[in-house]
Amino acid sequence: MQRQSMPHAVALTLVLALFVTGHANSASATTFLLSNTTPASTGGVSIGNAEALAIKFTTTSNGFSLTGVGATLATTTTNPTGNLFLEVLNNAVDRPGSSLLLLTISTSDLIVNNTTPTFYGKIVNNLALQPNTDYWLAVDNQLNESVSWRFNGQTSAVGFPTETSAQSFGSASWNDPVSTSTTALMGSITAVPEPSSGMVLWSFTGLTGGIALCRRWTKTSGRPRSPSTC
């Protein structure tokens, strides 16, 4: 009896599905929405007790899962008490809105020498960010002393001009945003692009279509279907 091979349409459909699925997975490489940690700082913006400072960043046409945030800070106090936070907020009429994420920087982790600015980073457990959307990264100072959010002149940094900022003076309201073109607050925001719905749909369609074609071919070929076949 002559052995019949799988139709080319079935094989091509399955290959296409595997390719699209692999391409979607390859899109999960880490992306910087903000990357400004070098060169060295040239100054800083002081954030007093019960004050906060925020910078705006924007996603691209992809949706993202946030994986990490950080800021380069310095403090002059030798015995800090209280709490220092990194916060991600949504955008509300070009100002920071409601809080989406609040991360604590331990006082035991603070380097208290103002001449040595330090990057403080935190891992995020995949906070979902919408495509083409503005968000804010804030440093919320609830310490007993001020901290300095360092800046440099890296205006070509990824995410610039995110140095649009707003400040809260111990209240729920934020000041009007301020933009400059010569300095950029030092920070980092990493995220993983989420696969587009189109990729997932094509992958699913390819797989189910291949299975359907294979079943049809098995039925019309006249040979019994074994458990090892589709």
pLDDT tens by residue, 98-121: 999 999 998 888 887 667 889 999
Same domain, 18 and 119: no
Quick one: 137 and 188 in the same domain?
yes
* Predicted confidence (pLDDT) at residue 81 exceeds the cutoff of 60: yes
More confident residue, 1 or 143: 143
The end-to-end CA distance of the chain, in Å, is: 21
Q: What is the pLDDT of residue 165?
A: 73
Establish if 114 belongs to a structural domain. yes
Extract the tokens encoding 174.
Answer: 């934020």
In terms of domains, do 134 and 175 share one? Answer: yes
Q: Lowest-pLDDT range, 60-64, 195-199, 217-221? A: 217-221
Model-level pTM? 0.74
Does residue 144 belong to any structural domain of this protein? Answer: yes
Q: Are residues 136 and 215 in the same domain?
A: no
**Predicted pLDDT at 17:** 39
Quote the domain boundaries for residue 134: 31-193
According to DSSP, the β-strands at 187-193 and 165-169 are: unpaired
| Whether residue 89 is found in the same domain as residue 203 | no
- Asked if residue 66 and residue 14 are part of one domain, the reply reads no
pLDDT band at 201 (very low <50, low <70, confident <90, very high): very low
Residues 135 and 209 in one domain: no
pLDDT tens, residue by residue, 130-165 = 999 999 999 999 998 899 999 988 888 888 755 567
Is residue 226 in some structural domain?
A: no
Share of the chain above pLDDT 70, in %: 67
Q: Say whether both 142 and 52 belong to one domain.
A: yes
In the chain, the number of structural domains is 2
Share of the chain above pLDDT 90, in %: 36
One domain for residues 81 and 179: yes
In the chain, the largest separation of any two C-alpha atoms, in whole Å, equals: 87
pLDDT value for 161: 58
